[in-house]
Chains A and B, each alone.
Chain A
Amino acid sequence: MAMDLTVNGVRHSVDVTPDTPLLWVIRDHLGLTGTKFSCGIAQCGACTLHIDGKPVRSCSVPVSAAVGKTVTTIEGLSADVTHPVQLAWIELDVPQCGYCQSGMIMNVVALLNRRPNPTDAEIDAQITNACRCSTYHRIRQAIRLAASRISTGGRTL
């Protein structure tokens, strides 16, 4: 069945069953492999992307839920790795294995879009993605750095 999607500003039509998880359409049919599979049950957040700007765990969202909406993946965050969150991640050398970081970054971007200067409690409540290398210490520092850049530099996300 043809599903019409807009992903990172590009319109696609894919022929899949409507209950196929969005994750697998993004990875297999559109070839955008930055979004990761890990648990398959919406526990870990490695598959986080945005639908209409809101973070979702795409392993557990059917592709039909994204039809007619705007999907953004890590590949669509910036063309040249210049998003303030990406730059903060590079500056603080956040990733270790890196496998969870696409989903982590997408969730952080969604948080900063909503709360440009989040409190620690807001970070704790919203950033529930799992990182097995436990890079959390630098993640929190990088969120702070990105937030300060956004507020002082005026760059919108």
Chain B
Amino acid sequence: MSDNDRTQQELSRRDFLSTTATAAGALVIGFWMPARAQGQTVNPDGAAWSNESAADEVNAWVVVAPDDTVTVRIAQTELGQGVWTSNAMIVADELQCDWSKVRPQYASANRDAREMAPKWTLNVMGKGATDPSGGGEPEFGTRDRTGVTGIPDSLYRRMRTNAAASVKDGRYYLQLAGAEARERLLLAAAKTWAVPVDEVSSANSIITHRPTGRTVTYGKVASLAAQTPHPNPERIRIKPPSEWTLMGTEQKNLDVPLKVSGKTVYGIDVKLPGMKWAAVKSCPVYGGKVKSYDFERIRKQPGVISAVEFPIPDPSLIRGRTFGGGVAVIADSWYQAKTAIDQMPIEWDVPPQYAALNTAAIRAKLIAALGEPGNVHVNLGDCNDAFSGAAKIVDATYSVPYLPRARMEPGNATVLVTDDRVDIWIGDQSPQETRYSASRITGIPETNVYVHLCHLGGGYGRNGNGPQAEQAIYIANKNRGTPIHLLWTREEDFINTTYRSIGVARLRAALDNDGWPIAIEVRTATDAEAPGATAGFDVAPRYFAPNYRFSIHSARFHIPVGTRRGVGAPAQHFYRESFMDELAHATGKDPYLYRRELIARTNLPYKADMIKALDMAAEMSGWGTPLRQGTARAIALEERGAEDGHHATISAQVHTVSISKQGEVRLLRVDVAHDEGFGLVNPLTVKKQIEGQIVWFYNDVMYQECNVTEGRIAENNFDTFQLSRIKEDPPQINIAFFKTGHWLDGMGHDRGTSIQSGIADAVFQITGKRYRDLPLRNHDLTWS
């Protein structure tokens, strides 16, 4: 028996179904308890995982075991967004299998380098974002061999986990994969019985020959199905939402039993025979590198083995971002490595032009940029003319700070490089790019690179993963034959992440005698490399003004900027919705009805959905009913994609906020009206995302900021970078969904952004003070 076989058997024994009576006795909870190792564990030889084999699969996404267990390969990374469950639901609904026997497993990024995708996955069927029976209009729908501007033709197509696109982009081919497998299982059963295939059908993993009533389960015909090609895969159709049976129902996340028992394998938990640990220090000023270090001073410390200096990671491998060079100390255990490197003298070679830079200088440069011509994205009508004839002008300048994602799991990766092969164990949102990095750094072809995906302890923006893989691959390549587990301290994680760019915006409105805008001018300024700079303002105003101008002004700084939860939307929604509140107050109008009227005046394709969201949220919240002194309500619109008739996600939230005279803010209640498009795959996951994002953005508005001091980020752990706790969670969150006539533009991303304007406006309503720069903890919120 090989080691592989032995491991497989052990795994099976540990894989059990636990059915437990609760203490009350009335309710029985049954859940699948995945083996710790399922699709995640390293085999004893440190090589292939259990999921690299193509043997006996019906297709690359579906394996049916003789006992009817269905393994569904997941090409996205589970980081709390529920993709292991929602992607499995998409496949399983079409497969018409027994959901209780579905087991998710990570897809092989190595097979993805060796095999091409089946032809039937390559083109999106249907008529775009507003066709319920089609595949929608994926964000990365165009085909691109490199996967940079579109989606590659490799086996698992898009393996990235970003842009709130896991369901939006993968749904059509995951549905096709489930349907293709089902039809081949039916063909196999028909062949076994020697009957025409149109006389057989299936449900819940049972195939029935309708004329005779004979049945067989999927597991019994799966190996025949694996050898039965689909004669006409181009003709496969996918179920529209009206035919969904599993999708659209609330399903608990399949990996929760692991997560409540400490058994989930995150990257940090990987341990290999002979593995050594690396602690690193990177130059805290981006673009800087090591000038010197004195390993002799720590050489004799317990467990210490060696030191490896690493250069500035190649920016072309990490989306153009420049981090710092650094040095790693390798030891038997991580704590030994960390203790030693803390005591090792290191001198940095800091680029002189960054050495004195601080937040005030960066913000001043952005404010100055607002006065420059900028890049005009939208210019409708004639703003200058309108402003000269205005009855009233409202002019406000807002500002938001640099923000990291600060996921709970610090960056890490385990890498083993041998002469002809690289193995990487990592929680990674871009395994295809990491595969490429490994090949570039080691010179070993991508077909010999194995990226073994682990769950991630938080995501919140793919770019923020930083150069965890690239540093680890570099260090392991200098120690070929020894598995190296690199782990950042929390402080290193703050250095080696990208930041949501600092931003400023000046919004001006020219109002007529009745208080309605005749012109709105929006100027925003961020780092020139910041993604999402057009969010919320592009193409046309969400709130009508006959004259509208939107320009982006920018400057370039050395802090690496990237995608953080919501990308551009959180800052831009804060500017836009705060400004709408200011206009309403300035003209004595109700902020809800003011917004409603201005949306109604637009020609935006989804304006009815936006009005519906506002109306529902207002009604749910009891908008207009009296509140106690010191309590206020604020409403805001959240939209992604409202401007152009493609995918969109639209919601509105009302926030009920109290502020004590001592300035203590309490978010009491949030009422959420949320677009479900043609249908949500797993509404439970969506609710959980909304609940979480409410507190996420509460953090942003109240506490979080990172400042630049002497060229480096000043806040680098949770003592100075504050996180909300349970006491700040609103006691009441009400979520209601409404159907619309488009596919959603993703979830897990930019909902809850309106908490920012909501709390800022409640502060204004209660204290009379208008603060336009975040976070609010920097301000006096007391009142009398």
Taking beta carbons and an 8 Å cutoff, which residues of A are in contact with B?
Answer: 17, 20-21, 24, 28-29, 31-41, 43-44, 46, 73-75, 77-78, 80-82, 84, 86-87, 89-91, 93-102, 105, 120, 123-125, 127-140, 149-150, 152-155
Q: Which residue from chain A places its CB closest to the CB of B258 in the assembled complex?
A: A98
Q: Which residue from chain B places its CB closest to the CB of A101 in the assembled complex?
A: B259
- Provide the residues of chain A in CB contact with B253, threshold 8 Å: 93, 95
Interface pair A36/B457, CB less than 8 Å apart: yes
State how many angstroms separate the Cβ of B731 from the closest Cβ of chain A.
Answer: 8
- Provide the residues of chain B in CB contact with A77, threshold 8 Å: 261
Complex partner residue of B24 from A33, A36, A132, A153, CB under 8 angstroms: A153
Max chain A CB contacts within 10 Å: which of B457, B487, B731? B457
Docked CA distance A154–B23 (Å): 7
Interface pair B409/A38, CB less than 8 Å apart: yes
Complex partner residue of A81 from B257, B269, B410, B725, CB under 8 angstroms: B257
Q: Which residue from chain B places its CB closest to the CB of A31 in the assembled complex?
A: B271
Q: Which of B251-304 contact A (CB under 8 A)?
A: 252-253, 255-266, 268-269, 271, 302
With A89-B260, A97-B457, A133-B458 given, can you name 4 additional A-B contacts, CB distance below 8 Å?
A82-B20, A99-B409, A136-B728, A153-B23
- Provide the residues of chain B in CB contact with A29, threshold 8 Å: 333
Docked CA distance A101–B458 (Å): 12
* B719 within 8 Å of A (CB atoms): yes
* B460 within 8 Å of A (CB atoms): yes
- Provide the residues of chain A in CB contact with B693, threshold 8 Å: 134
Docked CA distance A98–B266 (Å): 10
B363-406 near A? 1/0 per residue, CB < 8 Å: 00000000000000000000000000000000000000000001
- Provide the residues of chain A in CB contact with B335, threshold 8 Å: 20-21, 24, 28
The 10 A-B pairs with the shortest beta carbon distances in the complex, nearest first, are A34-B262, A153-B23, A99-B457, A97-B80, A98-B259, A96-B80, A134-B695, A74-B262, A124-B727, A136-B729
Q: Which residue from chain A places its CB closest to the CB of B255 in the assembled complex?
A: A98
- Provide the residues of chain A in CB contact with B602, threshold 8 Å: none
- Provide the residues of chain B in CB contact with A80, threshold 8 Å: 18, 20, 33
Docked CA distance A84–B24 (Å): 11
State how many angstroms separate the Cβ of B389 from the closest Cβ of chain A.
Answer: 47
Complex partner residue of A98 from B455, B695, B719, B733, CB under 8 angstroms: B455
Interface pair B23/A36, CB less than 8 Å apart: no
State how many angstroms separate the Cβ of B495 from the closest Cβ of chain A.
Answer: 14
Complex partner residue of A135 from B23, B684, B688, B731, CB under 8 angstroms: B688
Q: Which of B453-473 contact A (CB under 8 A)?
A: 455-460
Interface pair B729/A38, CB less than 8 Å apart: no
Docked CA distance A94–B82 (Å): 12
Interface pair A136/B260, CB less than 8 Å apart: no
Does more than half of chain A's interface fall in helix, strand or loop, or is it mixed?
loop
Interface pair B408/A36, CB less than 8 Å apart: yes
Interface pair B408/A96, CB less than 8 Å apart: no
With contacts A41-B718, A81-B18 taken as known, whether A95 is within 8 angstroms of B266 at the C-beta atoms is no
With contacts A73-B262, A132-B460 taken as known, whether A152 is within 8 angstroms of B79 at the C-beta atoms is no
Interface pair B256/A133, CB less than 8 Å apart: no
Docked CA distance A89–B255 (Å): 12
* B353 within 8 Å of A (CB atoms): no
Docked CA distance A108–B148 (Å): 45
Complex partner residue of A136 from B266, B269, B718, B725, CB under 8 angstroms: B725
State how many angstroms separate the Cβ of B22 from the closest Cβ of chain A.
Answer: 6
* B696 within 8 Å of A (CB atoms): yes
* B726 within 8 Å of A (CB atoms): yes
Complex partner residue of A84 from B23, B334, B408, CB under 8 angstroms: B23
Docked CA distance A126–B348 (Å): 42
Interface pair B22/A149, CB less than 8 Å apart: yes
Interface pair A39/B717, CB less than 8 Å apart: yes
B647-686 near A? 1/0 per residue, CB < 8 Å: 0000000000000000000000000000000000000100
Q: Which of B699-742 contact A (CB under 8 A)?
A: 699, 717-719, 723-731, 733
With contacts A97-B458, A105-B260 taken as known, whether A136 is within 8 angstroms of B25 at the C-beta atoms is no
